[in-house]
Structures are given as C-alpha cells and as structure tokens.
C-alpha cells in the first residue's frame, strides 16, 4: 500500500476525531522513527510521553514475546505471576500500598474518582460528595474524567456531566480553599499540567493543598499519567516535592507502549474504599500487560532512567533557554526534567508540521505551546540534533 492510499483509506474508515499529520510510520529504533518511505525522524514526542525506553528495545520485546507464548489473558478472577511482579514493583516504587490496573489513563481517573467517593461514603455513611479540580487540567475523555477536566471546549457538547465538580485556579491556593465545603471528598490535579501547556505545580501550592487536605480529611489525587514514570527526574513528579498523594494515577509510559494504566492508593484509603463488587475490568492487568509493566519498571530502575532524565532534562532546559533568548516569538519556557514547554507566537501546529519535513517529531500543548516529551533514553547529542532541526524549522516559517 502506498503512503497516499493508506492516508486516504484511513480518512474514509476511521472516525474523524483527529487531524493527523500526513505521516505513515512504519518502525522505530531507539529515539528514531521511520516512515514507509524510509525517512528518519528524531522523536521528541514519544507517542505522547509513552515510549520512555524508546523503540525496538530488545530486552523488553523478548519479555513480551515470551509472555505471548505462555498466556495473554485470564480475567481478574484468577492470579498470574506477571501481574503480581508488576504490582509488587509498582507499589514499591510509587510508595503506595495497593494498585488497580486499567487499560488507559482515563480509566485510571475513573477508578481514582470512584475510590475517593467510596472513601467519603464509608466515612460519612452517605453519598453526595464533591470534588475540586483545576482549570486548564486534562484527565481524559470518558465522562467521569471529562467532568474533572477544566476545559470548556472539551466539556460543552456532553453536558450534563458528573455533578459535584468545582474548578479552582492552578497554582492559586486561595481559590482552592474558597471551594472547600464539608462535602469535599477530593482534590484532583496533575503534578505538572501537561495538555494545558506544561505548568509544574509550585512547591508552596502543592504543600498548601496537602495541608488543606490533611486538615479536612480530603483525599489528594495526583494525576501522574503524563508527568510520572521518571519523566521529571524522579519516578513520580510528586517526589520532587515534600508531599505524598493519597491516590496516584498512571498510564502513558507505564507499559512501555502496551495500553495499560493504573491507580494506586495508600492503605488508609484502601481500607475504606473500593471493595469486591465496587469496581472491575475484564482486560485490566492481564498477564501480557503485567509482563510489560514488570519489564518496563525493571529497565527503568536498573538503568536509572529517572536520574538520566534529570541530567538530559537539565541540558534540554539550557538549550531551550538559549532559543527563547534568541527568538523574539518564543516568549516563555517552563518544565522539569523531560517534560518541557515553550510558548511560541508562531502557529504551533504549523511549527510541528514543518518540523516533520526537517525530520523532527514534535507535538504541541494548549493553544500556543511547543511540547518536549522525548523518550527518557535520549542523550545530549539528541538534544543538539533537535535544536538544530527546530531552528531550521523556524527559518522556514519566518
Ligand atoms: C493522557 C492523559 C490522560 C488520559 O489518558 P488516556 O490514556 O488518553 O485515556 C489523563 N491525564 C493526563 C494528565 C494525561 O496526560
């Protein structure tokens, strides 16, 4: 099938929920992707912060292949060793006590929200609790996750959504305090806002929220679906702050490319929360994804990828600072580790499209931010290659 046929047929057969770039990707190796014409691309998007260990990782592939030969799926009515290994690793590395595996990020949010509601229900003996979420947040596309996503455009067509959600300003502690009532059961937020434009939580904000939650027995749910799994230089972004959530959500990089998410919680929450009959999933945490998560975490810990992300992230930060100094249309720069964003006055969609012609895969966030979320295995020379390609892209657009 030639490239244009693939594009045309896809546009006929797929529901048009994405404006795709005219790129037909064929395979990947390390931090590079190759299209069906054999053209090579440096990947600074990682399939939206998913491919942390890059493409074609031998050891990871072998783990998946050997699990395929044994058992793919059994349902959650039985035990499997791959899932137990994944759970043990995840509980340890997340400093949580119990984990539930899902098939996606949005499902991890659904589970976290249900866990918080059930906790308050058990404590108070009745339902009717409220959740405080953040403006400009992103938590997913299913109705519950959409209900806590602070984006009018995403929400509007689907009203009425889940009731009892109030939105505060991110990094605005007073606006959160103003929304607390005796009905509040949880605050949900991203430790680093991703889709909203790469906004890390300010330390005082996150500490203030933790304190507010402690004083009112409100659960703190940190959504680490994008910023977690080593990307900020620690296994979870909240580990850069002196706070610990009650519930944490994960997905994206968790399975190294296999669709898997999870929500994990402390024993304090688990003891009063979801019990048999309250929650479930047919696929979630099957032996295949168990093997993927187990191997992903093993590689990440053994190869010290969070520390590597901190190091290359610092280099990326310096490099992007230089670009912001050099180009007037780059107006701000934020981020931590290998999740960074640069505000750009050129149309960012066009920058991303032109970058492809230069052999660079880049994505955007919000309406005016260039987003940098490469595989965690990049080296400083890849950062140099990226900035060179980006500058060439800018030259074409000016
Ligand atoms: C991507 C993302 C989600 C949703 O994950 P899906 O797997 O697309 O459902 C939720 N929260 C954050 C912070 C995300 O970046």
> Alpha-carbon distance 391 to 246, whole Å?
43
**Angstrom distance (rounded) from CA 229 to CA 231:** 6
Taking the chain, what is the end-to-end CA distance rounded to the nearest angstrom? Answer: 36
The arithmetic mean of pLDDT across residues 179-208, rounded, is 98
Give the catalytic positions in this structure. 138, 223, 252
Residue 47 Rama label (left phi>0; alpha psi -120 to 50; beta): left
Give me the mean pLDDT over the 199-215 stretch: 98
Q: Give the integer Cα–Cα distance in Å for 290 and 102.
A: 11
Picking from 169, 147, 174, the residue whose alpha carbon sits closest to that of residue 158 is: 147
Residue 184 has pLDDT above 90, yes or no: yes
* Claim: this prediction has a pTM higher than 0.85: yes
Q: How far apart are CA 252 and CA 49, in angstroms?
A: 6
Ligand 1 site residues (CB inside 6 A) read 104-106, 109, 138-140, 190, 194-195, 223, 225-226, 251-252
Maximum C-alpha span of the chain: 63
* Cβ contact 247:265 at 8 Å: yes
Atom of ligand 1 at shortest range from CA of 104? 7
Q: Please give the helix or strand (H or E) that residue 221 lies within, else none.
A: strand 219-223
Atom from ligand 1 closest to the CA of residue 141: 9
Give the Å distance between the CA of 105 and the centre of ligand 1. 5
15-63: pLDDT as tens digits: 999 999 999 999 999 999 999 999 999 999 999 999 999 999 999 999 9
User: Which of 138, 228, 284 to mutate for ligand 1's pocket (most ligand atoms within 8 Å of CB)?
Assistant: 138
Q: How far apart are CA 150 and CA 138, in angstroms?
A: 7
pLDDT in tens, 261-280: 999 999 999 999 999 999 99
Give backbone dihedrals phi and psi of 361, rounded to 5 degrees, phi first: -95, 120
% of the chain surpassing 70 pLDDT: 100
- The answer, yes or no, to whether residue 398 has pLDDT greater than 90, is no
Average pLDDT over residues 224-232: 98
Per-residue pLDDT band for 76 (boundaries 50, 70, 90) equals: very high
Q: 226 CA to middle of ligand 1, Å? A: 7
Which residue's C-alpha comes closest to atom 6 of ligand 1?
Answer: 105
Q: Which atom of ligand 1 is nearest to the CA of 227?
A: 13
pLDDT > 90: percent of the chain: 99
pLDDT at res. 245: 98
Q: What is the DSSP letter of 53?
A: T
CB–CB of 43/32 below 8 Å? yes
Tell me the per-residue pLDDT of 309-344, one tens digit each, with 9 for 90 and over.
999 999 999 999 999 999 999 999 999 999 999 999
CA-CA distance, 21 to 313, in Å (whole number)? 27
Going from the Cα of 250 to the center of ligand 1, the distance in angstroms, rounded, reads 8
Mean pLDDT, residues 184-191 taken together: 98
- Cβ-in-10-Å burial (0-12, 13-18, 19+) of 383 comes to buried
Q: What is the mean pLDDT of the chain?
A: 98
pLDDT at 177: 98
Q: Residue 29, Cβ neighbours under 10 Å: how many?
A: 12
Instruction: Please tell me the predicted confidence (pLDDT) of residue 341.
Output: 98
CA of residue 9 to ligand 1 center, whole Å: 28
Q: How far is the CA of 398 from the centre of ligand 1 (A)?
A: 34
């Amino acid at each position: 099938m030639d490239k244009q046929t693939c594009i045309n047929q896809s546009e006929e057969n797929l529901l048009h929920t994405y404006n795709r770039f005219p790129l037909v990707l064929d395979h990947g190796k390390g931090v590079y992707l190759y299209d069906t014409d054999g053209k090579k691309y440096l990947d600074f998007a990682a399939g939206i912060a998913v491919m942390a260990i890059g493409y074609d990782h031998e050891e990871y592939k072998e783990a998946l292949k050997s699990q395929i030969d044994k058992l793919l799926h059994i349902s959650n009515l039985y035990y499997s060793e791959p899932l137990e290994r994944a759970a043990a690793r995840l509980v340890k590395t997340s400093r949580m006590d119990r984990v539930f595996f899902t098939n996606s990020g949005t499902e991890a949010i659904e589970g976290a929200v249900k866990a918080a509601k059930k906790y308050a229900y058990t404590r108070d003996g009745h339902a009717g609790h409220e959740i405080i979420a953040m403006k400009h947040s992103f938590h997913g596309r299913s109705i519950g996750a959409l209900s806590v996503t602070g984006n009018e455009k995403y929400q509007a067509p689907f009203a009425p959504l889940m009731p009892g959600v109030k939105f505060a300003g991110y990094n605005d502690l007073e606006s959160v305090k103003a929304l607390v009532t005796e009905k509040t059961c949880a605050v949900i937020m991203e430790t680093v806002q991703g889709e909203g434009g790469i906004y890390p939580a300010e330390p005082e904000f996150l500490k203030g929220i933790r304190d507010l939650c402690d004083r009112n027995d409100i659960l703190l749910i940190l959504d680490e679906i994008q910023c977690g799994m080593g990307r900020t230089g620690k296994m979870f972004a909240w580990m850069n702050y002196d706070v610990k959530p009650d519930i944490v959500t994960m997905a994206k990089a968790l399975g190294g490319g296999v669709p898997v998410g999870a929500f994990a919680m402390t024993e304090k929450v688990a003891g009063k929360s979801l019990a048999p009959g309250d929650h479930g999933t047919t696929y979630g945490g099957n032996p295949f994804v168990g093997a993927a998560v187990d191997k992903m975490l093993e590689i990440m810990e053994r190869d010290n990828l969070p520390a590597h992300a901190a190091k290359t992230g610092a280099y990326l930060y310096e490099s992007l600072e230089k670009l912001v100094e050099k180009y007037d249309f780059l107006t701000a720069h934020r981020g931590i580790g290998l999740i960074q964003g640069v505000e750009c006055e050129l149309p960012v969609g066009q920058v991303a499209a032109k970058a492809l012609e230069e052999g660079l895969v880049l994505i955007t966030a919000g309406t005016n931010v260039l987003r940098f979320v490469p595989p965690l295995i990049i080296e400083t020379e890849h950062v140099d290659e990226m900035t060179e390609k980006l500058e060439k892209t800018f030259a074409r657009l000016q």
